[in-house]
Amino acid sequence: MKLSHLSVQRDRDAYLRGLVDLCSQAVDAERCTVYVVDRAAKELRARVAQRTQTEIRLPIGQGLAGQVALTGETINVPDAYADARFDRNIDMRSGFRTLNMLVVPVWGSVGRPVGVIQALNKRDGTFERRDQMLLEQVADTVAPMIEKLGGV
C-alpha cells in the first residue's frame, strides 16, 4: 500500500479522506474512520468517517475507539454487539450496523495515542492479523499529521 501520494496533499481534510479510502481498501472494510484525540476536551472526534454525515464524538475510554485512545492497545472484535465495550449509540444514530471492528492507535511523539484508526465490517469474514499489521503500519506513517490535528 502506498501512502506517498498522500503526503503531497496540502489540504488536511483531503489527506484524511484519502487516508480512510486507502485504509478501507487495504483491509477490505465497508467503512473506515479517523479519530483525533482532543486531550483538553477529553474526547475523540471523528475527523473523517466514510459514508456517514453523523458527527461522532466520544469521551476517551467510551466505546472501542475510546478504549483504544485510553489504553493504546489495538482491538480486533469479530462480533461488535457481543463485546460489552462496543457503543451501540452511533449505529442507532447513523442507521449503520457494525458487525466487526479493527481499531488501532495512532501514537504521538509524547508516547500516548493522538488518534485512532477504525475499520468496520470486513467484507469477507473477520479482520485478520495481516489487516492489523497493515493498519498499524499506516498509523505509524500518518502519526505526525494526526498529531498536528490534535485539539483542532
How many independent structural domains does the chain possess? 1
DSSP H or E stretch at residue 4: none
- Amino acid of residue 146: I
Beta strands in the chain (DSSP E): 29-38, 43-49, 57-59, 75-77, 101-107, 113-122
Alpha carbon distance 111, 26 (integer Å): 26
**Confidence at 151, pLDDT banded by 50, 70, 90:** very low
CATH number of the CATH domain containing 75: 3.30.450.40
> Model confidence at 134, in pLDDT bands (50, 70, 90)?
very high
- State what percent of residues in the chain have pLDDT above 70: 86
Range of the domain at 81: 4-149
pTM, to two decimals: 0.87
Residue 61 is classified by DSSP as: T
Segment 135-145 shows an average pLDDT of 90
Going by pLDDT thresholds of 50, 70 and 90, the confidence category of residue 94 is confident
Residue 144: its pLDDT value, please? 87
Q: Is the pLDDT of residue 17 over 90?
A: no
pLDDT greater than 50 at residue 8: no
pLDDT in tens, 45-75: 887 666 666 678 889 999 999 999 999 999 9
